[in-house]
Structure 1
Amino acid sequence: MADRPEMASIIARCLLTWSLVDVEMSLILGTLLDSRSDAAVAVYLSLQNARAQRDALSSAASIRLDGQDLAMFKAVMAIHKSSSSERNDLAHGIFGVISNEPDQLIWCPSAKFAAWLTRANQKAWNLETDIDPQAPLRKELFIYTKADLEAMFTQFSFVFDVVSRLHMALSPIEGSRDFGRQWLLAQSQVQAAMRNPQP
């Protein structure tokens, strides 16, 4: 990645932005639990996978919210879910470069890379020859372009905006609550998710 500092910087910005998303989601849980303590935030952040985090939020929301507030909440959760797997790919993948393609990165899931490396090492230790040792790995590779990463950063920034506005929309402070609701209801992605709710 040292050979692609600009692309590495975009990946770092994506991951840092998602950390802010996690903080806002934890604050939403605190709001739903009507807790002004650090406990709800700590509980949310201690949950290690996005599904468990969304399940905790959804359980609280199903009891505390109804009508338009619940519909907005579900729309925001759908938007969050649609990007969380991309965040996981960035955080838990192995990147490589293509020497003659400065605007591209190779990506592979960490687990697939580790399995390939283990098999390659076993063959080497057993002095086995392999005409094409990278063949099993090639089918696991994905190419990210600089434009792909910039689009992800834009989407992650939007997810942050959406969850932070939901936090405002659930606020007991009227001005904050009204601003958050109006902002959310004006977003086309939120409108689409409200029209087509996910189970």
Structure 2
Amino acid sequence: MLVRFNSAAIENRPAIGAAMMVVVIKWSELEHRWGILLAEILGAEAAAGVAMFNAVENESSRRHLLTAASNKRLSLKYREEMDALINDVRKGAKLRNDIAHGQWGAADNDPDGVVLGDGRSAGEGVARSHAVEHGIETLLGSAKVPPMLMRYDIRDFQQEAARIDILIGRQIALTASIRAHREAAKAERNLIFGVLDAVEQNSLP
């Protein structure tokens, strides 16, 4: 099987290219909602939380920011939910990053699939390979360290998009839960202050 790494791999497979782009777009929404959730944790405006989150470019630093805010402001129950969500998002970031930054190619006789390679696969490089279930093992100029080229079809990207939707749903639910808890606590404080104020007014001569 001959695998070529160039832009034609995606251009000649528009349905796959569209499915890949959906993954990237949904991931952008997920990152945007991190900013909204951060704002809710801090009791700030949504725009401020989004701006704060976007100002941190490194993924690891973003996770530390979310964790630090969670640990400082949330109860144990919400911290555990937040930690689980952060961890699940972290584990799912690889394919989105590969779509955006990876070397993509395709086999001449495989119109329904694309292949993710490594740095040595760039440009018009070609490799003779044989299919291995969900991947393609090939030699790219080095018999000692053969890289693994992973094959994807449209279903893989559709499944990834669906998985991101689930993560976004968890973000939305957690944001709403934290907001409801904060508003309930605020209402309780206002009630207490109202009672104290009434007592103080009644006690005046």
TM-score (norm. length: structure 2):
0.68
Percent identity for Structure 1 against Structure 2? 20
Q: Could you say which residue in structure 2 is the equivalent of 1:52?
A: 61
Q: Could you say which residue in structure 1 is the equivalent of 2:75?
A: 66
1:36-83: per-residue Cα shift (whole Å, max 9, x none)?
163331121122222211110000000111222111111211221121
TM-score (norm. length: structure 1):
0.70
Q: Could you say which residue in structure 2 is the equivalent of 1:167?
A: 175
User: Which structure carries more strand by proportion?
Assistant: 2
Q: Given the superposition, is the C-alpha separation of residues 158 and 169 from structure 1 closer, same or farther in structure 2, using an over 3 Å criterion?
A: same
Amino acid at match of 1:63: K
Amino acid at match of 1:145: D
Amino acid at match of 1:16: I
Alignment partner of 2:149 out of 125, 141, 150: 141
Secondary structure of the structure 2 residue equivalent to 1:135:
coil
Alignment partner of 1:10 out of 19, 22, 29: 19
Answer yes or no: is the 8 Å Cα contact 1:47–1:53 preserved in 2. Answer: yes
Q: Could you say which residue in structure 1 is the equivalent of 2:102?
A: 93
Write the distance in 2 (CA, Å) between the matches of 1:134 and 1:105. 17
Secondary structure of the structure 1 residue equivalent to 2:179:
coil
Q: Based on CA coordinates, which of the two structures has the bigger radius of gyration?
A: 2
Answer yes or no: is the 8 Å Cα contact 1:95–1:106 preserved in 2. Answer: yes
Q: Could you say which residue in structure 2 is the equivalent of 1:153?
A: 161
Larger mean Cα displacement after TM superposition, 43-52 or 16-25: 43-52
Amino acid at match of 1:41: V
Write the distance in 2 (CA, Å) between the matches of 1:72 and 1:30. 17
Count of aligned positions: 161
Secondary structure of the structure 2 residue equivalent to 1:107:
strand
User: Which structure carries more helix by proportion?
Assistant: 1
Q: Could you say which residue in structure 1 is the equivalent of 2:188?
A: none
1:9-54: per-residue Cα shift (whole Å, max 9, x none)?
1100000000100110011111112111633311211222222111
Answer yes or no: is the 8 Å Cα contact 2:140–2:147 preserved in 1. Answer: no
Answer yes or no: is the 8 Å Cα contact 1:31–1:167 preserved in 2. Answer: yes
Answer yes or no: is the 8 Å Cα contact 2:120–2:140 preserved in 1. Answer: no
Larger mean Cα displacement after TM superposition, 51-60 or 62-71: 62-71
Amino acid at match of 1:32: I
Alignment partner of 1:41 out of 13, 38, 50: 50
Secondary structure of the structure 2 residue equivalent to 1:141:
strand
Write the distance in 2 (CA, Å) between the matches of 1:83 and 1:104. 21
Larger mean Cα displacement after TM superposition, 71-80 or 35-44: 35-44
Write the distance in 2 (CA, Å) between the matches of 1:105 and 1:24. 30
Q: Could you say which residue in structure 2 is the equivalent of 1:105?
A: 114
What is the root-mean-square deviation of aligned Cα atoms in Å? 2.9
Q: Given the superposition, is the C-alpha separation of residues 149 and 38 from structure 1 closer, same or farther in structure 2, using an over 3 Å criterion?
A: closer
Structure 1 gaps, min length 5: 118-132, 176-199
Q: Given the superposition, is the C-alpha separation of residues 161 and 37 from structure 1 closer, same or farther in structure 2, using an over 3 Å criterion?
A: closer
